[in-house]
Structure 1
């Protein structure tokens, strides 16, 4: 029986909670934690191991070095920090420098698995991890708008009093300010969102969809204002993606995927729904967009393209 192995590079607030979420959900059998601060990685591994007696799944957690990740099935990249200026794009130079320092080494050592990228700005960093690794695009996936889509379902749930698991809706585009809510094809209780909201206007009121979209996009900064980081939601987002791969679930989730003509764009990674399975990204789901969504998605793609060009100088 094959042991499912995951390595996490960067175990600060985000990486450590990715580890915890995977342990709690039994997503993998072995976890190796790597950080530039070796004592932090060691301490996080010990702290995580202290939970095992309370859980239904046994996971071996240890700290290690980049060279210990060669036989991993999945490597999660979660280096870097969220900036206080409310613009993930301003993290680009530092993030590119960090991934350049270890991705080529990992590939040279013989890693043959799948990269899952969280480091911001995640769409652009995912693009460069793929370039640095030379891996097929299906084996380099960013968390993208996976967390934003969960926030959209949360906001709609709070507004309509419908369980978020009965809501199907995605945020598209950049994991950042230019993301767009796909209201036109989403559903609530199996009904189109726009129809459901209109039918229930007498109980939930007339909603401002642009305001709801803005609330989702600003979700991270509302959290950051009180604790200077986000960690729980992205931890579960990462674990969900990892489980999709290990269990070959072939479930549709939002992630940062490489466009090759889908949505009339190509050559960039950006947040879209996709089918994820044992080989990574299988198929991008191309949703029909209304005029508002097409315009905003186009703008988001153009922003990503411009920053990809900018990063070539780093």
Structure 2
């Protein structure tokens, strides 16, 4: 998932691999049908999972604590692991409008100096449009707040 952390987040279905094999292209080659509606329902379930946890428990502190510990471990041990973190996405991806300073969740390589780099993400045309929409959603909120 990339983009805004919320309703306009983007599932990068084209990047999902199993054993190094791209999942969707493998299904297509084997002529195994899948429906875009099913993929969208899965994406929506992921987006809504945070709301469900909050509804049931009232908070999500354990997940936040675990995530922070994992990020700190990668940085302090200079592990250079990839984590989905919010970073300034200006001019990083084709799906982000040029010149707009928005922070999006992207796969970033973390090491001792922080963000060492952003993983090159290949986007399908549809994913690029969705990421652009996600970036625009955040941009519009920033404009309303005067940021």
Shorter-normalised TM range: 0.7 to 0.9
Is the 1:272–1:284 contact (alpha carbons within 8 Å) kept by the matching residues of 2? Answer: yes
Q: CA deviation at 1:231?
A: 2.3
Q: Which has the larger radius of gyration?
A: 1
2:105 is paired with a residue of what secondary structure? Answer: strand
Summarize deviations over 1:207-256 as a string: whole Å, max 9, x none: 61111111111110121221121122222111111111101111111110
What is the CA–CA distance in structure 2 between the aligned matches of 1:215 and 1:197, rounded to whole Å? Answer: 22
Alignment partner, residue 287 of structure 1: 121
Quote the RMSD (CA, aligned, Å).
2.1
Structure 1: runs of 5 or more not aligned: 1-170
Alignment partner, residue 180 of structure 1: 10
For this pair of structures, how many residues does the alignment match?
140
Alignment partner, residue 131 of structure 2: 297
What is the CA–CA distance in structure 2 between the aligned matches of 1:257 and 1:212, rounded to whole Å? Answer: 25
Mark the CA change 1:196 to 1:306 in structure 2 (over 3 Å): closer, same or farther: same
What is the CA–CA distance in structure 2 between the aligned matches of 1:291 and 1:255, rounded to whole Å? Answer: 23
The answer to whether residue 103 in structure 2 is matched with residue 269 in structure 1 is yes
Is the 1:262–1:286 contact (alpha carbons within 8 Å) kept by the matching residues of 2? Answer: no
TM-score, normalised to structure 1's length?
A: 0.42
TM-score, normalised to structure 2's length?
A: 0.85
Q: CA deviation at 1:206?
A: 4.1
Alignment partner, residue 82 of structure 2: 252
What is the CA–CA distance in structure 2 between the aligned matches of 1:228 and 1:310, rounded to whole Å? Answer: 29
**Structure 1 moving runs of 4+ over 4 Å:** 196-201
